[in-house]
Structure 1
Amino acid sequence: MKIKSPARDDVSIDMGPMIDLVFLLLIFFMVASVVTELEKVEVEIPQSSHAKVPEDTKGRMMLSIDADNQVYVGTQPVELEELKTLIDSELDLNPELRILIRADHRVEYKTCKDLMIACGEVGATDLIYATFEE
């Protein structure tokens, strides 16, 4: 018994939907990268020859200090007393809160010291400073 397979025409795959999907993903990642860049206060981070880049900066509360010694939580300006209450409420939600401090290279040491003291007074002890490696 001889079995014949049906005659096939040229089989082709329609690449149109795949190309559409690739362009949609490309647009999504372009927009998502712009959104994450807008969430930071503009500061000129100092360079250090002994800087160690932290392995994991995700999940850290970001505090920024601009050249005018203004402290920001995310992009919102705050005073030190207001900062203490914000950190205290975050510590209630997450007892292992970690904080990333982005300070401009022109910030006075007193401002950084006051910020560290304010964090310590409410119980936040895991602080790191953002620096660039030379």
Structure 2
Amino acid sequence: MASSSKLRAAKADEGEDLAIDMSPMIDMVFLLLIFFLVNATMIIVKMDPEVEPPVAKNSMKAEDGNGRIVINIRQEGELYSEAGEELTDDDVIDLVTKEKDVIVQQGYEPKLHLRGDKRAVFKHCRKVLRLSAKAGVDKVVFATYNFEK
């Protein structure tokens, strides 16, 4: 009789479903989500509405957005920083030198992000390239569209 009660007790447990408590898993997912959001680096390039970049059908999206020093060249050749301040030649050298030092301390390679208007003459771009090289930055990323806007 003892064996039949054990058998009934074993069979009675088979009817209950096993359940996993998912609340610790959900907590872990939220913690990971918050961790990645906090550690993500936001890369925002402020676009000058006065500058319309040229179209280049073979242009590619840059893979690395870190370490960029943005200079805008408007149609008539005026130079502007990312913050919208007008720049002289000496200002360009100072800006590139300061930004380069900050970027190198962060562990990135400094690059000149040149946003030239499609109606601007290339001699203005060449001037900025020379000033940037004088300040110690010789890598350049040209901003272009790969389709007509």
Give the TM-score taking structure 2 as reference length: 0.60
Asked if the contact 2:67/2:103 (under 8 Å) is kept, the reply is no
- The match for 1:87 is 96
Instruction: Please state how far the C-alpha of 1:52 moved relative to its aligned partner.
Output: 1.5
Unaligned runs of 5+ in 2: 1-43
Tell me, yes or no, if structure 1 residue 55 matches structure 2 residue 63: yes
Residue number in structure 2 paired with 1:130? 143
Instruction: Establish whether residue 41 from structure 1 lines up as the match of residue 48 from structure 2.
Output: yes
Post-superposition CA distance 1:70-110 (Å, at most 9, x none) = 11111111011111011112222223212211110011111
Q: Which is higher, the Rg of structure 1 or of structure 2?
A: 2
Percent identity reads: 21
State the superposition RMSD in angstroms. 1.8
Greater fraction of residues in strand: 1
1:99 to 105, 112, 119: 112
Give the structure 1 partner of residue 77 of structure 2.
Answer: 69
- What amino acid is the match of 2:95? L
Q: Which moved more, 1:86-95 or 1:109-118?
A: 86-95
Letter in 1 for 2:80: Y
Q: Which residue of 1 aligns with 2:133?
A: 120
Q: Structure 1, unaligned stretches of length 5 or more?
A: 1-35
* Secondary structure of 1:105 counterpart: coil
CA distance in 2: counterparts of 1:41 and 1:67, whole angstroms: 12
